Amino acid sequence: MKVKIGVVGAGTMGAGIAQVAAQAGHRVVLTDTNPEQLKKAEQQISSSLLKLTEKGKFSSEEAEEIKNNMAYSTQLSELQEAVLVIEAIVENLAVKHQVFTQLEQVVSPTCILASNTSSLSIASIGSCLQDPSRFLGIHFFNPATLMPLVEVIPGVATSSENTQHIEELITSWHKTAVVCKDTPGFIVNRVARPFYGEALRIYEEGLADFATIDWAMTTIGGFKMGPFTLMDYIGNDINYTVTETVFAAFYFDPRFKPSFTQKRHMEAGFLGRKTGRGFYNYQEGSVAPAPNRNEALGQQIFERILVLLINEAADAVFMQVASPTAVDLAMTKGVNYPKGLLAWADELGAGWVLERLEILFAEYGEDRYRPNPLLRRKAREQSKFIL
């Protein structure tokens, strides 16, 4: 019999994580202090399983078995037999400390405790535990049932045995697990910042409008969504907050500087699709703006954003956040990039990337364009990131 998994927090992410574990055959207990939220989560899971059944992913019998694997409770005491508990609640350190302090009194001494946090440090969350060696980050991406990537983040106190066990467990759930260091933004939310930030900078300089920048990144770059379409999809409030959090956490490194354009859109309530207006107007009768399909301009936009993304990926490797393979897996599986950024650098040549960054650095004199030492080394040695 598969072991029992606990999930704390029955919001969209918590319900999705619980469903993933139940689909892997585990007995799952989803807890939340709000009974109405638990009902919504149960409806969300039932609706998701129905869609998957209609698509032929499961038979009706298998879907029913997955539902039977699920239990819902308002009491943390229901998690006493769990071998793993994943917290997916509000991004508030004090609230998380309160939950984990209670959890440690409920679960067995061998139960692994984890947080789905995307913005708080694993060390800071785990500091409230008597045994922080059993605590780590397990960061799923939304929607958890569909997105293949899971970042596994050990804290400085996490035991290597627990990290390895969770990596193997997540892999057995048919997910792509990448292990990374406990640094702000982990891999994806750190490396992806230039995709948004440099697009906003290009707009603010008056080089191109939203539609043209999106056209360049999708048509020339091969990305599934342009940065402004994606920010509208994510929500400008959410995307801006992540940028601001990463910027502050990196001691205000200029590479992660937020944009006034996005802040003003957020302040005006132009949050994106969910409010009917973001960088684009989604209200009925609105006409999508036409891009300037100038190939030379499009290539310039694409290359400028791409080299900054590659530079950030190189920095993640240089600072030992994750291996080159893990970084590329994270970006292709976590945010659907058309290629791994470091494999892309190998294809174009580190010297090609470095030359374009040095032109930008010389032009602007800003640290946001400073080439990473590892990129310089690869260019000098004419070697590759992915061996």
Residues identified as active-site = 118, 139, 151, 189
Q: Measure the CA dihedral 355/360/361/365, to 10°.
A: 160
Side-chain half-sphere exposure of 120, counting CA atoms within 13 A: 24
d(CA 387, CA 77): 49
Phi then psi for residue 317, to 5 deg, are -75, -45
> Is 31 in contact with 6 (CB distance < 8 Å)?
yes
Q: Which residues of 314-336 are buried (b: 16+ CB within 10 A; e: fewer)?
A: bbbbeeebbbbbbbbbbbbbbbe
Handedness of CA 161, 167, 170, 174 (dihedral sign): negative
Residues contacting 74, CB < 8 A, separation 6+: 31, 32, 33, 34, 35, 38
Angle separating helix axes 236-249 and 260-267, nearest 10 degrees: 140
Neighbour order of strands in the sheet with 4-8:
70-73, 27-31, 4-8, 84-87, 112-115, 135-140, 149-154, 176-179
**Nearest residue to 301 via CA among 211, 192, 188, 191:** 211
- Scanning the chain, the segments in alpha helix (DSSP H) are 12-23, 35-54, 60-68, 93-106, 122-126, 160-172, 188-191, 193-204, 210-215, 227-234, 236-249, 260-267, 295-318, 324-334, 341-348, 350-364, 373-381
Phi then psi for residue 187, to 5 deg, are -95, -65
What does the block give as tokens for 106? Answer: 């409920």
d(CA 379, CA 140): 34
d(CA 131, CA 257): 36
**Nearest residue to 202 via CA among 306, 304, 294, 337:** 304
